[in-house]
Amino acid sequence: MGYWVHLKHSLDQAMLHSDRCLEIPANPTGADFWEGSWVEYPDKETALDALENSGASRQTPCPLCKP
């Protein structure tokens, strides 16, 4: 199972998602200041490390998929 980190730059927030989450867009390729960026990771440990090192002040798991 893969994991995604959604960096919401405009809100200074990073959120961890499982790969089956409904919030992940069909084509998560774009990245900008307002929409943020989506980054995929192969395992949970790597995704959690990326979440901690994102620099965002708010780092949370997704309330829908609860990874």
DSSP strands (E only) in the chain:
3-8, 13-18, 37-41, 58-61
Say if 67 falls within a structural domain. Answer: no
Say if 66 falls within a structural domain. Answer: no
**Number of separate domains in the chain:** 1
Say if 31 falls within a structural domain. Answer: yes
1-45: per-residue pLDDT in tens? 799 999 988 899 999 999 899 988 888 776 666 778 899 999 999
The whole-number pLDDT of residue 30 equals 67
What is the model's pTM? 0.86
What does the alpha-carbon distance between residue 66 and residue 31 come to, in Å, rounded to a whole number? 24
Residue among 35, 18, 65 nearest 5 (CA): 18
Say if 18 falls within a structural domain. Answer: yes
The whole-number pLDDT of residue 29 equals 72
Write out the residue range of the structural domain in which residue 40 sits. 3-61
The whole-number pLDDT of residue 64 equals 92
Strand partners for 49: none
